[in-house]
């Protein structure tokens, strides 16, 4: 088994695991790095995204509501700046999965479905939505890239 720590321009054919430590700047960055896994025919692998606890304190729901109310400046097809406010309520982070996978398994239950807004024009391409969703992350990636889910 080969574990791959990100390095630019590597073309190693037998990578089984990619570990991304900390949030990248965009969803595309993570997907490109995850794409290094199992490149050969019929291969399978695992891509892991380890995020900071603070990623769950970012209130993307409030940012989405604020964007609806105001006119947001755009540069080309992207928002000029994506400013996510920090949630003042500790239950926001808990309800969006901050304790999933915590030591001892106390919070390993299936989380309640919460609709997490997705702003396709944000600079991070919906990265915080990908992290905070309580749905299948493949579904979020499908919404971001417009791909169809396999049947």
Query: Measured between alpha carbons, how far is residue 62 from residues 68, 92, 133 in Å?
Result: 10, 11, 15
Please name which of 26, 39, 27 lies closest in space to residue 18, comparing C-alpha atoms.
39
Q: What's the average pLDDT block by block, 10 residues per block, for the chain (151 residues)?
A: 53 82 92 83 86 85 63 50 66 73 68 76 88 86 84 62
Q: Say if pTM beats, i.e. exceeds, 0.85.
A: no
């Amino acid at each position: 088994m080969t574990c791959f720590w990100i390095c630019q321009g590597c073309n190693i054919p037998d990578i089984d695991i990619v570990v991304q430590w900390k949030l990248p700047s965009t969803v595309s960055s993570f997907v490109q790095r995850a794409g290094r896994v199992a490149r050969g025919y019929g291969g399978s692998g695992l891509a892991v995204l380890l995020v900071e606890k603070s990623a769950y304190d970012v209130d993307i729901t409030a940012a989405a509501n604020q964007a609806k109310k105001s006119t947001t400046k755009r540069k080309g097809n992207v928002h000029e700046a994506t400013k996510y406010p920090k949630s003042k309520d500790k239950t926001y982070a808990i309800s969006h999965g901050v304790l999933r996978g915590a030591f001892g398994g106390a919070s390993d239950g299936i989380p309640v479905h919460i609709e997490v807004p997705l702003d396709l024009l944000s600079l991070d391409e919906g990265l915080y939505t990908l992290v905070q969703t309580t749905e299948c992350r493949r579904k979020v990636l499908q919404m971001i890239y417009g791909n169809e889910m396999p049947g």
